[in-house]
Chain A
Amino acid sequence: MISGRCAACKNQRRKCPSDCIFSPYFPANDPQKFACVHKIYGGSNVGKMLQGIPTYLREQTANALYLEAKWRIHDPVYGSVGIISSLYEQIKNAEIELAKIQTQITFYKLQTQHVEAEPNSEVLQSQSSNMEQFEWDNPTIASWFN
């Protein structure tokens, strides 16, 4: 029956058998899906790839192939690799930003602890030399945030 063909068999202008490997994943109402994977991988390659996958994973495989094909069509030079590269960049920038902020937090916490440790002026005087050493041994920390 011609009307029951999947998108792949319609695209290839052939009969769609009952055991067509494409039909569960490339329905007739979404012709673009098969058109994309066909353009990048070729229909027979897609068929071979699906055949090598257990049935319960074939839908995810077809969807992943479709995504990669779409990205490759959108960016013919880098495809999905461009996205990976961009994500690495985002991760690197976020890690740098996070490290900066966490360093700031640590500095402020240390400052607060230092201030809270000197409620008594006698204690302050007796430990004055130690305090100076603690506070001013690391001038570079304060200079990071100026």
Chain B
Amino acid sequence: MGGSSPCASCKLLRRRCTKECIFAPYFPSDDPRKFAIVHKVFGASNVSKMLQELPIDQRGDAVSSLVYEATARVRDPVYGCVGAISYLQNQVTQLQMQLAVAQAEILSIHQMQQDPSNNNTTLLPSQLLDQDYSEKFLLLSSAENNNNYDFLPQYLSFASSSSSSSNVFQDSEPLKRESFC
């Protein structure tokens, strides 16, 4: 009677798209690739089960994150999103080290200003960095570029932290929790 077109998932699965179709709100017929990629990686029945276990107001975000993960997995069939996380953790670690050096330098400057007699003998942390730490930075970076995931389990508790290059980042910064879709 209504004649409304089936959603992308029912089109792909070749079945009737009912009013209660769990996929229809999130996989419109004008974007068939979205469901195709999620189906390829997770499977339609698994996606359906996952959505059914979530409150309706969270399903949109869940679909967006599943699409993102599936896309990452297709782009990088070995590491998927884990490759991206490894790369970003490496960046965080490097930034934290740079911050520590900069903070030590500020402290050093303050100390020199308070005690000018020390000016001639004290090296600023950035000068020390030039001598020794640049090598250590390189060693650390190359070690993490061996795709070693030993440090990743720290992310089970989502605590802030500490690689590998990743080819997942072909888009710019992907998404924030509040701006899915």
Name A's B-contacting residues (CB within 8 A).
39-42, 44-45, 49, 52-53, 57, 60-61, 63-65, 67-68, 70-72, 74, 76-88, 90-91, 94-95, 97-98, 101-102, 104-105, 108-109, 112
**What is B's interface to A at a CB cutoff of 8 Å?**
41-43, 45-46, 50, 53-54, 58, 61-62, 64-66, 68-69, 73, 77-85, 88-89, 91-92, 95-96, 98-99, 102-103, 105-106, 109, 113, 126, 147, 149, 152, 155-156, 158, 160-161, 173-177
Q: Would you give the shortest CB distance from A143 to chain B, in whole angstroms? A: 18
CB pair A67 B43 closer than 8 Å: no
Nearest 9 pairs of A and B residues by beta carbon: A87-B88, A94-B95, A81-B65, A64-B82, A80-B81, A101-B102, A42-B43, A77-B62, A61-B78
Among residues of A, the one whose C-beta sits closest to the C-beta of B88 is A87
B99 touches A94 (CB 8 A): yes
Residues A52 and B82 in contact, CB atoms below 8 Å apart? no
Tell me the bound Cα distance from A101 to B109 in angstroms: 12
A76 touches B95 (CB 8 A): no
- Knowing A40-B46, A84-B88, A87-B89, the reply to whether A67 touches B105 (Cβ < 8 A) is no
Q: What are 24 of the A-B contact pairs (CB < 8 Å)?
A: A40-B46, A41-B43, A49-B41, A64-B82, A67-B152, A72-B69, A76-B62, A77-B65, A80-B85, A82-B65, A82-B158, A83-B85, A84-B85, A84-B174, A85-B175, A85-B176, A90-B92, A91-B88, A101-B103, A101-B105, A105-B102, A105-B106, A108-B106, A108-B109
With the chains together, A108 CA to B65 CA distance in Å?
46
**Contact status A81-B81, CB under 8 Å:** yes
Contacts of A68 in B (CB 8 A): 69, 73, 80-82
